[in-house]
Amino acid sequence: MNKFLSTIFLLLFLNINSQDLKLPSIFGDNMILQQNSSAPVWGWSKKDKDVTINVSWNDKLYSTKSNSEGKWMINIDTPEYGGPYQFSVSSIKQTVTFKNVLIGEVWIASGQSNMEMPLNGFNKEPVFGSLDMIAKSTNSNIRLFTVEKKTSKNPLENLNGKWLISNPKNTSTFSAVAYSYANYLNDVLGVPLGVINTPWGGTPAEAWTDEKTLNTNFDKSEIKNHRNLPQHEPSNLFNAMINPLIPYKIKGVIWYQGEGNVARANNYDKLMNKMIEGWRREWNQDAFSFYFVQLAPFKYGGNDKPDSAFLREAQLKTMLNTVNSGMVVTLDIGSEHTIHPPEKILIGKRLAYWALAKDYKIEGISFSGPVYKSLDIKGDKVIVNFDYAERGVTSYNNPIKDFEIAGSDRIFHSANARVIRGYGGNRSKLEVSSNKVKEPVAVRYGWKNFLEGNLYNTQGLPASSFRSDSW
């Protein structure tokens, strides 16, 4: 019996090892390939062997030869969106065929727990409107891929995960933000949408940044592992959960992270700028779009030390200093008692506004809330000017909250704010004053860990917190 079992195991071993043709798991049935592109397809075979790809959407036969290590890559031309199609990869006497393939738009979603949070919520933490979205989620034109959590000290070439078709069972456990984003884009554009979801809760941006970028731009003291966890080790998540996806053709990235860096805001804008720069370099795909979510208000131990306000400021600087980036403000939908605000579906839609306006060139769609531009001092009043408020700012006729001004003593006092209705009809200005400050020099808005922001542009997008000083 033992001899018989040994023979069986040997045959199985030989059979497995004869399967020399292999592709990363990002290629599979139900996948979506980026439309109108030259999409890389890669994998492994025996060394120095011919590899061919046959696709059903055109008559081309693509071919190459594996290198001395057995690695190969072929760029295949994809048409305008459509499908389902199939394509086959062949080498020697093996063929791997992928079925039910769509051509459309592909986005990566990454970050920490607020991106990871599924539509059915976390324990005791709901997602508003999720049941309705889950119930209506049967849609063969939306495809979902979730990357299994893993860390690595060295860049990996493969990961675990598979493409799933959107339906209630699959969407209920998928990222609420990422699904809302894909669903809204698919609804507006009528184009198949694929989302590759690769987040890990509680993780810092350093772990998602490639080693070359970190070593080139930062001292080791700036990027050390602050919690002695493998998922906090610099580059460990990039190596295991991002690198294996490169160079899969994508349209861009949506990102929801920052809580893991909230106490280290001093270098966060530089870190994010360089992380984005590094991803784009590794993908070798121009400056693809990178849209992210600003931290939502949360108590973070109280308002005496507003760490999250400094982090939100760093995120705003990231948007202003990074090409092809955009930021969703959540100052109006935070939660004092949970770091996971329930308005995830709304956040997904706000991310989609950026893509619709910037990537898909749909005119008439606003994408950013008011952004602080400058101030003017007029006696005992501060006049605040905003960008992205062409038709004015508003609080929907409610008192505008959470403004402060200071004089040369640098002591801030709560202030009144009102929309100015003069200045040639320009209503993108606010007049801010306090009877405790006769000669103001600086203004702040929302400079707290927790608040309920209520300043918007007329399209209903909230203003970011800001300060005019650098104290």
Asked, colleague to colleague, whether 2-103 and 105-358 share their fold, the answer is: no
DSSP state of 259: G
Q: Nearest 5°: CA angle at 130, between 126 and 131?
A: 110
The band of 14, judged by pLDDT with boundaries at 50, 70 and 90, is: very low
Quote the tokens at residue 234.
């610099």
Give the model's pLDDT for residue 204. 97
Average pLDDT over residues 315-324: 98
Question: Helices 268-283 & 307-321, crossing angle to 10 degrees?
Answer: 40
Average pLDDT over residues 338-346: 97
pLDDT: which is higher, 132 or 59? 132
Give the model's pLDDT for residue 170. 98
Q: Which fold has domain 2-103?
A: Immunoglobulin-like (2.60.40)
Average pLDDT over residues 164-193: 98
**CA 83 to CA 435: how far, in whole Å?**
66
Report the side by side order of strands in the sheet with 466-467. Answer: 371-378, 381-387, 429-433, 412-419, 403-406, 442-445, 466-467
Number of other CB atoms surrounding residue 359 within 10 Å = 19
Q: Please provide the DSSP assignment of 265-334 as one string.
A: GGGHHHHHHHHHHHHHHHHT-TT-EEEEEPPPP--TT-SSS-HHHHHHHHHHHHHHHSTTEEEE--TTS-
Average pLDDT over residues 272-281: 98
Give the model's pLDDT for residue 226. 81
The band of 13, judged by pLDDT with boundaries at 50, 70 and 90, is: very low
Give the model's pLDDT for residue 426. 61
CATH fourth-level superfamily of 105-358: SGNH hydrolase (3.40.50.1110)
**CA 372 to CA 468: how far, in whole Å?**
8
The band of 427, judged by pLDDT with boundaries at 50, 70 and 90, is: low
Q: Domain limits of the chain?
A: 2-103, 105-358, 371-467
The distance from CA 307 to its chain's CA centroid, rounded to whole angstroms, is 22
Question: Helices 344-358 & 176-189, crossing angle to 10 degrees?
Answer: 40
Question: Is residue 143 classed exposed, middle or buried when 0-12, 13-18 and 19+ CB atoms within 10 A define those classes?
Answer: buried
What are the φ/ψ torsions at residue 82 (nearest 5 degrees)?
A: 165, -170
3-state secondary structure of 162: coil
